[in-house]
Amino acid sequence: MSLTWPWALIALLAFPLLLAYRWWTRRRRRQQAVRVSSIALVKAALPGRSAWRRRIPLWLFALGLLVLGTGAARPQASMLVPSDSTSILLAIDVSASMCSTDIPPNRLTAAQEAARDFVESQPEGAKVGLVAFSGIAALLVAPTEDKDALRKAIDGLRTARGTAIGLGILTAIDAIAEINPDVAATGVELPGGGGAGGEYEPDTIVVLTDGANTQGVDPVTAAEQAAARHLRVYTIGFGTTNPAPAVCTPDQIGGDAAFGGPPGMGRGPGGFGGYGGGAGRYRDLDEETLTKVASLTGGEYFQAEDAKELTEVLIDLPTAISLQREDVELTAWFALTGALLVLTAVTLSQWWTRPSPLRRAPG
């Protein structure tokens, strides 16, 4: 916790001053006390009051003053709060193995449905970008609020050979650098080599893959680049261990343009070979690498073995992603707590010292 106005702590002097004033008034009352002939009669006439009833209001009042004095210094605490400036780069694996039918009708179709649900679940103002990767990576949609453009790009995903997870991460970093001036592009040398310390940027990368990296930059090396720029990478391993045929629908086979999308959509070169079927395919995830990528960047690794699990993971992600650590002022809470303590002290003091009828002496 930090204090915006630390000099205001001088208000805490009210506590020792209160104690000094109480000591002085009690001493003065003792000096001015009048002797009476029968102390027993006075005790019989006055209601009894235990020591703890005398002390509780005083200490509650003193504690209230301490809390109010601390609140005057405007205390702040570092907390996780929702951020309205988050952009999420969704990097989807479109390698040939995504045509595996272990998740009906095939993995790519299930991933497309989950991605569409993810886009639809985003609140107004949220920005989502789309990266596709197989042997190379391409930015299909820069971070945008345009859900129609995102849906169109998701529907147009095409398969190709190879799995370049590291390139997918680097492409997502460059896409974030285009919209966030605090994030350097991957070709820029960072002062001091960067570092994973400090606060994370609000923009985040989510990598969905069903396999292991087969070419291009090593995913861990790419993750180090993301960590140096304070970008979190969440990884999702998709698929089952059940062998199944790989069957692409005609519109899922890669064309001349990058990933089968319209010319100009992708930033990578085109010319992928199609993949229309084959022998049994199964999940060949490098979970150790995916976990390390997430750990290095402050993200988390998730595993999804069916379409429902994948949809749940994607839809639940923004809850964690959109939380950013910020300094939140706690003055109002200190003021409310202090006022309640003081009010309680005054109320108890008045209640326990309320006058009561004198009891008649026998006779």
359: in domain: no
Which range is least confidently modeled, 100-109, 190-199, 282-291? 190-199
Residue scoring higher pLDDT (124 or 291): 291
Question: Above 90 in pLDDT, residue 334?
Answer: no
Least Cα distance to 327 among 199, 194, 183 occurs for 199
* Domain co-membership, 244 together with 301: yes
* Domain co-membership, 337 together with 223: no
Which range is least confidently modeled, 78-92, 163-177, 217-231, 243-257? 78-92
Residue scoring higher pLDDT (67 or 137): 137
Cα separation, 359 vs 340, in Å, equals: 35
* Domain co-membership, 20 together with 140: no
pLDDT for the residue numbered 322: 53
Least Cα distance to 232 among 289, 181, 301, 286 occurs for 301
* Domain co-membership, 57 together with 154: no
Q: Which residue has the tokens 């005083």?
A: 58
124: in domain: yes
* Owning domain of residue 133: 81-326
358: in domain: no
304: in domain: yes
118: in domain: yes
In angstroms, the first-to-last Cα distance of the chain is: 66
29: in domain: yes
* Domain co-membership, 47 together with 151: no
Q: Which residue has the tokens 């790009």?
A: 153
pTM above 0.85, yes or no: no
| Total domains, the chain | 2
121: left (phi over 0), alpha (psi -120 to 50) or beta: alpha
CATH number of 253's domain: 3.40.50.410
Which range is least confidently modeled, 126-140, 244-258, 282-296, 332-346? 244-258
Question: Above 80 in pLDDT, residue 318?
Answer: no
361: in domain: no
pLDDT digits (tens, 9 = 90+) for 32-54: 555 544 555 555 555 555 666 66
* Domain co-membership, 198 together with 341: no
Cα separation, 316 vs 71, in Å, equals: 36
20: in domain: yes
